[in-house]
Structure 1
């Protein structure tokens, strides 16, 4: 399988995040495809890098999408960023969003890395999820 479902996977992830009441209570509508220009919100989420590799099997064509998300807090301390990261994990881990051109076989949390930003102010948490998709037969 190719990268044919890349946009559908991104749209599905974005939809799951923006529909999650817990995450929205924490970050409002501040879930972006890229970091917002100019003044940034105090806590927000961005869709990050994605790598994809073929992952077909005897059942047909498939792909493994490794999707990164970033939680950014402009304040010192990890509490707010960790709350948002936890909400993302709950919203995504095990979810089975609908795709028009295929199906999600699995969506699993893979890892998280929490870091201080330069100068000590602000925090980031990078989350990675592995999403196995199959093409419609």
Structure 2
């Protein structure tokens, strides 16, 4: 197993979300790898945690990354968050991302969870699974 493809995968996911016109129409430039200081926008997307497991086989070194992309809003109701979450899902599920190291074998939507948080926030956590190969680690 190699964790070395994690950074390139995250960068490619972030770039894919930033470049998506439908998502941009809903959240503008409010797509974050790290949350900015100060007041947050009323609707934004944030990259979240990941869990990685070895997926190496006879063909080479690989890993399975389960990662979260969150949509968070202080707007009343879930509709704006669900619209943005749908755009995130459309942008990532099955995407053919180019990584700076390794290769993406596949990217799939796994699940989502919508919750109400303190201070009237609504949050949707979308979990995706990426299978990657890392020929550099062989």
TM class by shorter chain equals over 0.9
Contact 1:103 1:133 in 2 (8 A): yes
1:102-135 superposed Cα distances (whole Å, 9 cap, x missing partner): 110010001100001125x220000110000011
Does 36-45 or 103-112 show the bigger shift?
A: 36-45
1:53-73 superposed Cα distances (whole Å, 9 cap, x missing partner): 110112111000111111001
Matches within 5 A, 1:29-48: 29-48=29-48
Structure 1 portions without partners, runs of 5+ = none
Counterpart in the other structure of 1:129: 128
Structure 2 portions without partners, runs of 5+ = none
Matches within 5 A, 1:1-137: 1-119=1-119, 121-136=120-135
1:80-105 superposed Cα distances (whole Å, 9 cap, x missing partner): 00000000000000012011221100
What is the aligned residue count? 136
Separation in structure 2 between the aligned mates of residue 77 and residue 106 of structure 1, nearest angstrom: 33
- Runs of 4 or more off by more than 6 Å in structure 1? none
SS at match of 1:84: helix
Q: CA RMSD in A?
A: 1.1
Separation in structure 2 between the aligned mates of residue 97 and residue 136 of structure 1, nearest angstrom: 16
More helix by share: 2
